[in-house]
Amino acid sequence: MTKGIGSAVTRKVIERLAEGPADGLRVGALMESAPAGAPLRVMNAAAELMERGGIAQYPVVTVYCEKVVNDLREKFRSFSGVVQMAIEVRHSQDRMDGVEAALEAQMDAVTQALSASRGDWGDGAYYAGAYQVSYGRMSRGGKNFTQAAKVSFEIGVSRS
């Protein structure tokens, strides 16, 4: 029943982040230290693993599905529930000063893209607009110092 729902919603989130809000600001456009065309990654991996694997370019934006819940809100549907999604942003630089400010600016871009995406996403998916942001503490890693933040939100899904 839940086959492919998490992947389908993850693709929709990636599309929304790539499009960005109507004013033309994209999540990637606010990441000045990112290489041109740095992709949004679909991955739920620890920062240490990404660095060891050689795929960490900072800032790193990863999108992943945390949980799929079929609570049968609508009777006689094969799936009617929520998909818990997460967008994680990791920022790194060589000085401690400014790491948190840069991460907050990047998270603002993510939350603006989410706020601009409220409503029907098609294929039975909809986003009500609620989200929760949590910031991690600064630590060693990346380009000397790194900090991460995560946005968690739910996408409602209803499919026959």
Separation of alpha carbons 138 and 81, rounded Å: 35
Domain map (residue ranges) of the chain: 5-159
| Rg of the Cα atoms in the chain | 16
Its pTM stands at 0.83
At the top level of CATH, the class of 5-159 is alpha beta
CA distance 120 to 118: 7
Mean pLDDT over the full length of the chain: 82
Q: Residue 93 corresponds to which amino acid?
A: Q
Helix, strand or coil, per DSSP, at residue 90:
strand
pLDDT in tens, 24-62: 445 554 444 344 444 577 777 776 766 666 666 788 888
pLDDT of the residue at 133:
96
Strands 60-69 and 41-42, bridge-based pairing: parallel
**In the structure encoding, which two tokens stand for residue 126, read together?**
């909809």
